[in-house]
């Protein structure tokens, strides 16, 4: 049986907020959804299970996708979620920041990405609604891009209806170019400047720029998935993009195959 898409939910409202997005991916990939909730052993675990089951049943009446629920008893929510989602296609909400704790804090998403071999679809705090993507955008730091990210972009374009793919290439000087996926733009230097999105883009502005340029589709972005102090000190272009994006972002960590 095909593995389910895992949807960790911390709050009851997450079931609808994230679940309807996860349902779109489940439909496209012909998979079922497995909602995961972590409850402290001292909580009313049976009551939590009942409450989340009701919400999931309501969502299932709206979305024609098989859904189930797994409630995990644990005193370490972060570790339990990371373990449940590692190496499994995941759709989850994130604060996209190590400083905010509204859904599963952004560092939890980063922890999953740091070890997982599967993509993680992240729904950031600026998400405004689920819309059918019109295009897939591949963020790349060079001409060839991350191999796993390229394969994922191609797969998403196929399952969502043979969508066009565009590449957002960031050169070493921080200049961002948008070009067709198979366009040999760099072999035609006279055309480069006409396709330039911005010049001298500061690193802290790259994330919001990528989010803006991919607002009508799905952004596929590889990430080093830094956590803890390195993230706070060095930042993360991927999570800056997730923070600003009004649509889901498909992120792949360094272990993605």
Share of the chain above pLDDT 70, in %: 74
Which residues form the domain of 78? 5-93
Q: CATH number, domain at 11?
A: 3.40.50.620
Residues 80 and 150 in one domain: no
The pTM score is 0.84
Q: What is the pLDDT of residues 103-118, one digit of tens each?
A: 444 468 888 988 899 9
Residues 89 and 154 in one domain: no
In this predicted structure, the answer to whether residue 13 has a pLDDT above a threshold of 70 is: yes
240 or 67, higher pLDDT: 67
Q: What is the pLDDT of residues 219-240, one digit of tens each?
A: 998 887 654 434 433 447 788 8
Residues 243 and 140 in one domain: yes
Is residue 255 domain-resident? no
Mean pLDDT of the chain, nearest integer: 81
Picking from 64, 93, 122, the residue at the C-terminal end of a domain is 93
Residues 81 and 21 in one domain: yes
Please tell me the predicted confidence (pLDDT) of residue 199.
41
Is residue 9 domain-resident? yes
Picking from 93, 122, 148, the residue at the C-terminal end of a domain is 93
Q: CA 223 to CA 140: how far, in whole Å?
A: 10
Please tell me the predicted confidence (pLDDT) of residue 98.
55
Is residue 102 domain-resident? no
CA distances from 176 to 167, 169, 199, 207 (A): 10, 5, 7, 11
CA distances from 155 to 26, 84, 196 (A): 14, 24, 27
Confidence of residue 139 (pLDDT cuts 50, 70, 90): confident
Is residue 204 domain-resident? yes
């Amino acid at each position: 049986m095909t593995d389910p898409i895992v949807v960790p939910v911390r709050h009851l409202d997450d079931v609808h907020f994230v679940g309807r997005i996860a349902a779109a991916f489940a439909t496209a990939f012909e998979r079922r959804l497995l909602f995961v909730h972590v409850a402290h052993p001292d909580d009313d675990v049976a009551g939590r299970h009942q409450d989340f089951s009701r919400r999931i049943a309501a969502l299932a009446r709206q979305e024609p996708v098989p859904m189930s629920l797994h409630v995990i008893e644990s005193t370490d929510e972060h570790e339990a979620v990371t373990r449940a989602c590692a190496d499994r296609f995941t759709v989850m909400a994130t604060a996209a920041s190590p400083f905010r704790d509204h859904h599963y804090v952004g560092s939890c998403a980063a922890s999953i990405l740091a070890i997982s071999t599967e993509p993680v679809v992240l729904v950031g705090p600026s998400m405004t609604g689920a819309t059918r993507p019109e295009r897939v955008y591949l963020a790349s730091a060079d001409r060839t891009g991350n191999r796993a990210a390229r394969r994922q972009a191609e797969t998403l374009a196929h399952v969502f209806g043979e969508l066009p793919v565009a590449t957002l290439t960031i050169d070493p000087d921080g200049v961002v170019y948008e070009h067709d996926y198979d366009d040999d733009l760099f072999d035609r230097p006279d055309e480069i400047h006409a396709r330039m999105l911005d010049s001298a883009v500061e690193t802290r502005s790259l994330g919001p720029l990528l989010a803006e340029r991919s607002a009508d589709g799905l952004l596929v972005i590889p990430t080093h998935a830094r956590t803890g102090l390195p993230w706070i000190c060095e930042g993360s272009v991927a999570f800056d993009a997730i923070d600003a994006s009004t649509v889901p972002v498909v992120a792949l960590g360094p272990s993605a195959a």
